[in-house]
Each structure stands twice: as C-alpha cells, then as structure tokens.
Amino acid sequence: MQTNQLRGNLMLLFAALIWGFCFVAQKHAAFYIGPLTFMAVRSFIAAIVLLIGVVLLRGYQKIRRPQDYRPLFSVFSQRKELLLGSIICGALLSCGNVLQQAGIAYTTAGKAGFISVLYIIIVPLLGIFFKRKVNVFIWVAVAVTAIGLYLLCMNERLTIGRGDVYLLLSAVTIAFDIILLDYFSPRVDGLLLSCLQFVVIGIICLPLAAIFEHPTLASVYACILPLLYVAVFGSAIGYTLEIFAQRSIGPAITSLLLSLEAVFAALAGWLILDEIMSPRELVGSALMLIAIVLSQLPELSQMRRIKQNEKKS
C-alpha cells in the first residue's frame, strides 16, 4: 500500500513539474499565435494522443487484468452521460484555457502559475451553491489568498493588470469545470471523457480562431515545439498521471502536490525566460501557497481520523 502511495506521489510531482513548465511553453507560443488558435491545435493533438492512450490501456487490461477489461464499444451504454459531460466540460474548459492563454501573454509565467492554481481554493468555496458547509479553514484561506493576490498582482497605481484579470477568470471557470468533472467522471470512462472533452474544445476554438485570429501554417509551425509539449505532455500525459495517481492518493494530497505547479512555473520562468519576482511578489506567492494548504486541512484531518479508526478496528 505504501509503495502505491509513493508511486502516486511521484506521479503527481511529475505532473506538477510538467504543468509548471507548460506556462513557459504557453508564454513562448503567445508570441506567434492567438489563444484560440493555440487551444484549437493543442486540443486536437491532445485528443489524438489520449485516444491512443485509451486503446493501449484497454489492451493492457485485456492482457494483464482481464477482470477489469471492457470492450471499447461498451462505452456506448454511457453515451448520454459521456456526450453531455464532454460538451459541458469541453465548453467550460475551452473558455478557461483560452482565458489562461490570453492572460499569459500579458504577465510572467511565474505569476500565471500562482494565479492559475487558485481553483484549488475556489472549488471548495463553490460548495456554497450546492448547499455544502464551508469550513472555517476555507474562509481563512480566502482571506490569506486576497492578501497574497494583492501583493502579487496589484501595481504601484493600485490597478490590476489585464493578464491577471484573465487568469483569475480562468481559475474560476476551471473550478466549475472540476466540479462538473467530479459529477461525470464516476459515471463514464475518465480517459475517454477527457479525450472527447478536448475534441469539443478543438471544435469550438477552430472556427473562432479562423474568424478572429486568421492563423497561418507558418505561425503555427513557428511554435510547434511548445504546442507539442503542452498538448502531449501537459494535456495527455499529465492528465493520465493524475488519473492513475488518484487511485491510491486522496484528493487533499493530490491538490497539495499539484499546487506545486505554481512553484515549478516560477522556477521555469526564472531558468528559461530570466523572469525574476520582486520581494513583494515572492511574499504574495508564499501567502497563496499557505492558503492552499489551509484550504486542504479539513480534508487532511478527516483522512487522518479515518485511518485511526481503521487501525482501531
């Protein structure tokens, strides 16, 4: 069991590392193509890679774990939930990711990373709308986040940058997407849902990119490496690692480990783009990480109580 937990922790750390460096790749791509074009190309590539992953995973299950094997056509019994989940989640995620990509063009990779992980705090806060009790730790985390955001985003003229606003809106949108995924994922094949979700994003973004951004093959080719990195590693491999890791790791630990993508984003921005945070921005970033930990304390304490009860029994 501990071996599985260690493996899961390493998977999540690797996923956080991949996603942290994605911000640098997205920053580079923003110089050549617009956010709609970026999302259209990225999503179709990710969908193809994920579809290959679905086929390979089913082949592995058929050989090594025949008791878990289900033919691919068996998902048609879930077609209503799968189609509805793909459309709704794909539409939300396309909006959130386009806003994120647009925001990255106006700010640093490090700041983008820290603002983007705010969804970890927003998700439990949105529980109010579903009549769920919000723990006092969440409210404290919100207050600490507000101070951290002020230090990280507010400039000398007491205004917040355009890119930071886009990223904040992106975090809220992605939080709603996570809540809906939490509803649909137990009802359908998770990897296939992700695959079709990316297809929906591509279908939404491609015509909009053609109308508003007029992309060219030359501009796409100029940033093909960052596109491939984000699509293959960030979208396909990173998501798959998270799915497998969550089989042995609880949601609280998962959130905490994945929040390290913000730290990796700042590190990648410093190593590759020579981005340096000011002391004020560093304090704001540190406060936001503290807020993330605070937001997960209730769930961590609940997990501890469950383990203690299991030992007693």
Q: How high is the pLDDT of residue 306?
A: 65
Amino acid at site 87: I
Least confident of 34-38, 140-144, 165-169, 253-257: 253-257
Radius of gyration of the chain (CA): 20
Average pLDDT over every residue of 298-313: 66
Q: Which helix (H) or strand (E) holds 20?
A: helix 2-29
CA dist 264 and 124 (Å) reads 24
Domain boundaries, the chain: 2-118+160-275
Per-residue pLDDT tens digits for 145-195: 889 888 888 766 666 888 899 999 999 998 888 888 777 877 777 777 888
The 10s digit of each residue's pLDDT in 222-242 is 999 999 999 999 888 887 787
Residue predicted with more confidence, 191 or 262: 262
In DSSP terms, 160 is beta-bridged to 154
- Tell whether the model's pLDDT for residue 103 goes beyond 70: yes
Tokens of 245: 């890791």
Residue 116, C-beta contacts closer than 8 angstroms, at least 6 positions apart: 23, 100, 167, 170, 171, 174, 261, 262, 265
Question: Which sign, positive or negative, has the C-alpha torsion 96, 98, 100, 103?
Answer: negative
State which amino acid sits at residue 11: M
User: Lowest-pLDDT range, 109-113, 128-132, 134-138, 166-170?
Assistant: 128-132
List Cα–Cα distances, 97 to 10, 32, 107, 174, in angstroms.
26, 17, 15, 8
pTM (predicted TM-score): 0.85
In the DSSP assignment, the letter for residue 249 is S
Average pLDDT over residues 87-111: 91
Rounded-to-5 percentages of helix, strand, coil across the chain: 85, 0, 15
Amino acid at position 77, single letter: S
Residue 74 has pLDDT above 60, yes or no: no
